[in-house]
Amino acid sequence: MGGTPAGPVPDASHDFALWEKRVDALMILASARGHFTVDGLRRALEDMGEAAFEEMSYYERWIAAINQNLVEAGVYSLAELGEKMEEVRARAETYGEAAGG
């Protein structure tokens, strides 16, 4: 990444979506609880490989990395996550409705 050739710096900016701000908040709160450090976040991000940096958005990579660290720390299991995601998906078609606000 650093030092590799790349195109013009994009000048776009956007307002962060609520779900993105929540991901950011979860990172801070979960690390404050001592479940992982910013190094743990970074390790998970770097393990994703280059494709993840081209295909996923910034906070998509973050929630994936937070989740990986929480599973590794034993806060919940992959089975619990799968079950919960199924439950969430069954609630509604949109983020707002599925999240209940």
Partner 1 sequence: MPHDHPHDHDHDHDGMSPSGHPYRKDQDTGLSYWQCMEIAVRELLIEKGEVSAQEVARQIDVMDSRSPANGAAVVARAWVDPGFKALLLKDAGAACGEMGFDIGPLQLIAVENTAQVHNVIVCTLCSCYPRNLLGLPPDWYKSRAYRARTVREPRAVLAEFGLTLGEDVQVRVHDSTADMRYIVLPARPEGTEGLSEAELAALVGRDSMIGTGVARRP
Residues at the contact surface with partner 1, assessed by CB under 8 A: 1-26, 28-30, 33, 35, 38-39, 42, 45-46, 50, 53-60, 63-64, 66-67, 70, 75-76, 80-81, 84-85, 87-89, 92-96, 98-99
Q: Which is nearer to partner 1, 72 or 81 (CB)?
A: 81
User: Smallest Cα–Cα separation from 21: which of 53, 62, 55, 54?
Assistant: 62
Q: How big is the CA angle at 43 (ends 5 and 58), to the nearest 5 degrees?
A: 60
Shortest reach from residue 91's CB to partner 1, in Å: 9
Q: Are 58 and 17 in contact (CB under 8 A)?
A: no
Amino acid, res. 82: G
Shortest reach from residue 72's CB to partner 1, in Å: 13
SS3 at position 8: coil
Shortest reach from residue 69's CB to partner 1, in Å: 10
